[in-house]
């Protein structure tokens, strides 16, 4: 829901900025340049805020299981590597060692995911030793 809200705010900011710029151009006959330029500048700033997605600063990411998400993303990379290794092996470019090594990394990743499942992110302990990846 927050993602849709962020996207809607970004689109609204962009549209509002474009509308203000057009208003400054259309009303050029009734506005003097000292009013027209700040109005156009405001429109550009609003448009840029929408384009650059600044609403994410207002509504930050609220993921509670980001370590599991990171491990899941790593699994996607393992899947790509496994496919590349299988294609290279089938083409006779290399033996099955890379395929087997990637398969083992995938098994290790599944075990890590099972350990991370259901564990919310907590405060980061700066004294904790780094985990092997």
Q: Where are the domains of the chain?
A: 2-58, 66-116
Q: Give the pLDDT band of residue 72 (cuts 50, 70, 90).
A: very high
pTM above 0.75, yes or no: no
Q: What is the pLDDT of residue 60?
A: 67
Residue that the structure tokens 């302990």 belong to: 125
The tens digit of pLDDT for each residue in 6-54 reads: 888 888 989 999 999 999 888 888 888 888 899 999 999 999 888 887 7
- CA-to-CA separations, 38 to 17, 24, 52, 69, in angstroms, rounded: 12, 9, 21, 44
Separation CA 85–CA 101 (nearest Å) = 10
The overall longest dimension of the chain from CA atoms, in Å, is 77
């Amino acid at each position: 829901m927050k993602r849709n809200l962020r996207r809607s705010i970004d689109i609204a900011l962009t549209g509002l900025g474009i509308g203000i710029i057009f208003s400054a151009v259309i009303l050029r006959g009734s506005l003097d340049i000292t009013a027209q330029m700040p109005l156009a500048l405001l429109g550009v700033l609003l448009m840029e805020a929408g384009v650059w997605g600044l609403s994410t600063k207002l509504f930050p990411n609220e993921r509670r299981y980001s370590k599991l998400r990171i491990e899941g993303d790593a699994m996607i990379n393992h899947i790509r590597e496994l496919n590349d290794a299988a294609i290279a092996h089938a083409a006779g470019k290399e033996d099955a060692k890379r395929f087997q090594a990637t398969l083992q990394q995938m098994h290790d990743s599944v075990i890590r995911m099972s350990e991370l499942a259901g564990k919310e992110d907590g405060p980061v302990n700066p004294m904790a030793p780094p985990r092997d990846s």
